[in-house]
Amino acid sequence: MKKLLSILGAVGLTATGASVAVSCSGEKPESIVLALGELNNKESTTIIAAFNAKNPNNKVSDKATVKDITDTSATIVDGTTEHKVTFTIKATVIELKLGELADKQPATIIAAFNAKNPNNKVSEEATVNDITDTSATIVDGTTEHKVTFTIKAA
């Protein structure tokens, strides 16, 4: 009986030790990078793409959203998990010379501006004021862009 208990005890200790060795591999969990670096803009899709690029093993889901966006930070919400990220916006030169346009209609001017400035597009709420034959002012919220252009000869 003593031999049987000794054998069972040895097997039990060996099995327990093996399970501990398997569960404790010694690997540290990968930390999440919250400093995203320089971004082209502060749109939600850009922020999420940058987060996922910096964290390939800790990507957020397709259902993640972004809130509290400022010029230097935002919060990514993925289910019940929130990631407060920081970034800078790339300084870009805004092209105000639109070139030759078909007409001087506000929609034409805004489309030309957005085509010349793909990383600094104006919103759908933008308006165009002070339209002349060679210039106009695009107003988007508190931002104004004084643009110049020529009208295509008929």
Residue 52: pLDDT band (50, 70, 90) is: very high
pTM of the entire predicted model: 0.50
pLDDT above 90 as % of the chain: 66
Residue type, 3: K
- Give tens-digit pLDDT for 87-143: 998 877 889 999 999 999 999 999 999 999 987 899 989 999 999 999 999 999 888
- Cβ atoms of 73 and 86 within 8 Å: the answer is yes
Return d(Cα 95, Cα 118) in angstroms, integer: 10
